[in-house]
Structure 1
């Protein structure tokens, strides 16, 4: 099984750090995000990874070329931003085989990829999580106060996909897969959902996300 890591964005929400280094090289517990992701993919037997790069791509390539991984690492470089759909289309042409995985370049998780791989053209979903305290009420009285919690049966995109190779011809040359092909496939009943409950999942979009993730990442990816 092959995998694509979408790592071409500018990471504007992590400025000023990302003025100097690309987001995939931002460290969590002294290890860059992208290295954590490679370790995660290795756990599930991925033997080849194509990394979609754009912003400060030379820094990502130079770092990973110095590392020793028991898999092949290739790069699909974007001279202009292609969006997630365009990036997957370009990188997918480097992949042989019936299907492949895609993961957003800022996602840290322990989602079981073996479960996702069982369904073609599937999206990993987790229960929506609030960033705020949740109040349980009875009329004008608070009966319980809960910190961040999962909201049952409301599912959100976890940023990990298992795609059939034939999907490439339908992807846009430029644009996001989530705004172009996925809505079209969903209307045609061609897009599958794989639900994951009680998993660890972080999207590193802020310094608070980095702090929260750093407390658990050594348990998430061993």
Structure 2
């Protein structure tokens, strides 16, 4: 490794590392010089994502763990293992996703809420609680949530999804307030920030729908750049902020 990346020395965990956004984040963070610890529920896809990230920069350290983020003990053990193995944890990027919707409000199936509450809310609760201590101990701790514009302006057919995203945002803002209080008069040393997109797009989606414009969508590579950029800004500047990567409604 050449040792001159902007994130050299940083240790960053990525939850939901095997999806398109997770893969892009692993690549971008490793390219910037960070040690990256990915977790996902799919071991095969996670191994592929880790291998791809390791190859992006000679000597990059990228690890992968199959973790059930609905299990508080397993999530805490993951956080503790990273801190033990590397000495500190400087970030958690939360990319666990999922979507369910309906044609109309009346057609909403509350089974969708049951699923989305687990994927989009409970996993945020688990990772934020597990990584709160390590991030407060870091001199550049960052918790990054990726949310959707629909949380601010829900549509009739997306009630469950928008409500889950809004709950995840509220939880993350509470974490930001914890960081603010811990910083006292000097301001927060750690930060919790929310990156807001309309939706995400990646190369496979474009290949499947070559005529689609994906207007307002954020490419996962652009998202990964924005994630890495959170560490380039002072904690007080980004803590408790919704940072819009699409037009604000």
**Which bracket does the TM-score occupy, shorter chain normalised?**
0.3 to 0.5
TM-score (norm 2): 0.39
TM-score normalised to structure 1 length: 0.43
Counting strand residues as a fraction of each chain, which structure ranks higher? Answer: 1
Higher relative contact order (CA 8 A, sep 6+): 1
Q: Which has the higher helix share?
A: 2
